Amino acid sequence: MFGLGHKKNELVKLLPEVRGRYVCDEPLAKHTWFGVGGPAEVMFYPEDDKDLEWFMRTKPYNLPICVIGGGSNLLVRDGGVPGVVVKLDSKYYRRIELGDGVITCGAGVRNGELKKVMLENGLGGLEFLVSIPGHLGGSIKTNAGCFGKETKDVLLKVTIVNGEGELREVPAEELTLGYRSSCFPDDWIITSLTLRTEPQDPGKTKEIMAEQKAYREKSQPHNVRTAGSTFKNPEGLRAWELIKKSGCADLRVNGAKVSEKHCNFLVNTGKATAHDLETLGETIVQKVKEHTSITLEWEVKRLGIHK
């Protein structure tokens, strides 16, 4: 019923009237760190939870829906994304509220925005999240982590809107967060989250953040079009070591290449397509499997259809 072949606004005519906004044929390349990919048939920016609830309750029953955040861990294919892409980017979804030993944020808050709040209020424990690109909502879906901590270590609860348009509060333990993964329904849209914090001298917090930033800049590519770690680490192993051992460190497909700084990062040199990047990744998977009998699992989420 739905597809990118529709004339502009044809899908919009089937959608409920909302207080937020719809944008047709929105180029998703500008919403991702890779800077590639086709358009969203329709992009929906809800005004708030009530607006999102209404949309989910009254949309066509078989309408394809997906959610994107900051686009730091995302590869959108060149054919774009049929249906509706939801992005929580209004002022409502970028709010931050402090409580007793907790901080509650809208899912659209950028991880890096926690830095100012932590320093101004003498808070610690979330430094690792500050160093991870993207939005907090996406950090939960992938249980993002680094420097020995994961999102599940500091997450207390979330609010979600489900496929029927119901708003619910869900304790962290019900999300079944694992290594770079979660096991909750695909039609759940996380709208806010509450994180545990701890009192900490701002000088100490600043020191930890500076150390983590320095480590990333030294060991990982920055100021280039990349999406972070491409593959998950197999249990007890490191993906980058398997990639290097399998002779993949110098691979390139047109404008897509393996980073010289860290071979578990793929880089768009400026002229890559999503197909180039995905082909490069799949070539690595195949070569590592041939060389080590281990099948690497993508950490970067791939979305949309091939052109």
Give the model confidence (pLDDT) of 229-277 as tens digits: 999 999 999 999 999 999 999 999 999 999 999 999 999 999 999 999 9
271 and 256 belong to one structural domain: yes
Question: What is the structure's pLDDT at 4?
Answer: 56
Domain presence at residue 212: no
Give the model confidence (pLDDT) of 54-93 as tens digits: 999 999 999 999 999 999 999 999 999 999 999 999 999 9
194 and 293 belong to one structural domain: no
Q: Give the CATH number, domain containing residue 73.
A: 3.30.43.10
**Boundary-marking domain end, from 33, 56, 87:** 87
Give the model confidence (pLDDT) of 201-211 as tens digits: 999 999 999 99
283 and 194 belong to one structural domain: no
Q: Give the CATH number, domain containing residue 287.
A: 3.90.78.10
Any catalytic annotation for residue 180? yes
122 and 197 belong to one structural domain: yes
CA distance 83 to 106: 24
Closest CA to 195 of 273, 289, 286, 96: 96
Lowest mean pLDDT among 65-74, 136-145, 167-176, 243-252: 136-145
Q: How large is the average pLDDT for residues 114-140?
A: 94
Question: What is the structure's pLDDT at 8?
Answer: 56
pLDDT band at 191 (very low <50, low <70, confident <90, very high): very high
Q: How large is the average pLDDT for residues 106-125?
A: 96
Concatenated DSSP letters of the chain: ---TTSPTTTTGGGSPP-SSEEEEEEEGGGGSSS----EEEEEEE-SSHHHHHHHHHHS-TT--EEEE-S-TTEEE-TT-EEEEEEE--SGGGG-EEE-SSEEEEETT-BGGGHHHHHHHHTEES-HHHHTS-SBHHHHHHTT-EETTEEGGGTEEEEEEE-TTS-EEEEEGGGG--BTTB--S-TT-EEEEEEEE-EE--HHHHHHHHHHHHHHHHHHS--SSEEEEE-BPPPTTS-HHHHHHHTT-TT-EETTEEE-SS-TTEEEE-SS--HHHHHHHHHHHHHHHHHHHS----B-SEEES---
Domain presence at residue 7: no
Whether the per-residue pLDDT at 1 is higher than 80: the answer is no
Q: Give the CATH number, domain containing residue 122.
A: 3.30.465.10
Any catalytic annotation for residue 139? no
Any catalytic annotation for residue 299? yes
95 and 83 belong to one structural domain: no
41 and 96 belong to one structural domain: no
Whether the per-residue pLDDT at 141 is higher than 90: the answer is no
95 and 82 belong to one structural domain: no
159 and 263 belong to one structural domain: no
189 and 108 belong to one structural domain: yes
Catalytic residue, chosen from 180, 192, 225, 278, is 180
97 and 185 belong to one structural domain: yes
**Boundary-marking domain end, from 40, 58, 87:** 87
By residue range, what is the domain housing residue 179?
91-204
pLDDT band at 142 (very low <50, low <70, confident <90, very high): confident
Domain presence at residue 307: no
Domain presence at residue 216: no
Catalytic residue, chosen from 72, 131, 192, 229, is 229
Q: Structurally, how many domains does the chain consist of?
A: 3
Give this prediction's pTM: 0.92
Domain presence at residue 140: yes
Q: How large is the average pLDDT for residues 216-240?
A: 94
CA 238 to each of CA 119, 120, 192, 218, 223: distance values in angstroms, whole numbers, following the listed order: 34, 37, 32, 18, 24
Q: Which tokens in the block code for residue 205?
A: 């917090």
**Boundary-marking domain end, from 171, 204, 237:** 204
Lowest mean pLDDT among 89-98, 166-175, 179-188, 208-217: 179-188
280 and 233 belong to one structural domain: yes
175 and 101 belong to one structural domain: yes
